[in-house]
């Protein structure tokens, strides 16, 4: 299994921390063998959960200019018409995908094109499914324009646990559909804002596969 580069420091620190904790318990409570066993098993389980969080899956993206690919694994929690107030300043169709700590947290470009806009916003750490998390939480906003001139906005949103957004794009950069554009550590959310006439191909509670599942289609 390949592990993501963003997990290097977390895995090292947590591994050393768990090792030290087990050694301390063995040193100060040597007679309680059942506690040693319980802590060791719990440490392996906990570390295993962290390792699986940073796994890098193999994804195959079928390139199509009309398709909007899911930017992340998770569950569709919002499909609605909203007024996008940062870039478009008008009505758009919003699809939101919530990522639990058990999901892969790599983020994938939903379309190919040129990055027309990027902005990072520091903010709060409301739970990721909170309606105000899209505008008040720590977040990054990216707009990509495809070859036909259609612009799609997608936004990384930190949650109550996730407090570090990572991105690998900048304005003017050419990006490819399905290519990794970022990573969010632990529970989080991604919003995608589409033209009103886009055909929505997913529904609430669907569980798309990032980089593969087509969640909408441009007309």
Nearest to 72 by CA among 173, 142, 160, 22: 142
134 counts as catalytic: no
Output phi, psi for 48, to 5 deg.
Answer: -65, -40
132 touches 107 (CB < 8 A): no
Output phi, psi for 2, to 5 deg.
Answer: -85, 140
The two three-digit tokens of residue 91, written as one number: 């009505």
Distance of CA 141 to the CA centre of its chain: 13
Helix (H) / strand (E) element for 24: namely: helix 8-28
95 touches 43 (CB < 8 A): no
Distance CA 47, CA 18 (A): 8
Q: From the candidates 96, 134, 140, 188, which is the catalytic residue?
A: 188
SS (H, E, C) 85-148: CCCCCEEEEEEEEEECCCCCCEEECCCCEEEEEEEEECCECCCCCCCCHHHHECEEEEEEECCC
25 touches 39 (CB < 8 A): yes
Residues acting as catalytic residues: 188
């Amino acid at each position: 299994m390949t592990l993501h580069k963003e997990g290097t420091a977390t895995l090292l620190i947590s591994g050393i921390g768990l090792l030290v904790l087990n050694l301390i318990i063995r040193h100060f409570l040597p007679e309680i063998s059942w506690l040693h066993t319980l802590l060791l098993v719990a440490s392996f389980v906990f570390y295993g959960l962290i390792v699986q969080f940073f796994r890098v899956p193999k994804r195959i993206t079928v390139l199509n200019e009309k398709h909007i690919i899911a930017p992340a694994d998770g569950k569709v929690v919002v499909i609605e018409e909203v007024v996008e107030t940062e870039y478009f300043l008008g009505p758009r169709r919003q699809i939101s995908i919530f990522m639990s700590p058990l999901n892969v947290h790599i983020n994938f470009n939903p379309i190919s094109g040129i990055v027309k806009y990027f902005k990072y916003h520091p903010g709060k750490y409301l739970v990721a499914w909170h309606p105000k998390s899209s505008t008040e939480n720590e977040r990054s906003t990216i707009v990509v324009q495809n070859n036909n001139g259609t612009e799609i906005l997608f936004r990384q949103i930190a949650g109550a646990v996730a407090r570090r957004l990572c991105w690998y794009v900048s304005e003017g950069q050419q990006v490819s559909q399905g290519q990794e554009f970022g990573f969010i550590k632990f529970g989080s959310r991604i919003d995608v804002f589409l033209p009103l006439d886009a055909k929505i191909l997913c529904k609430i509670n669907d569980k798309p596969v990032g980089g593969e599942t087509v969640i909408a289609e441009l007309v």
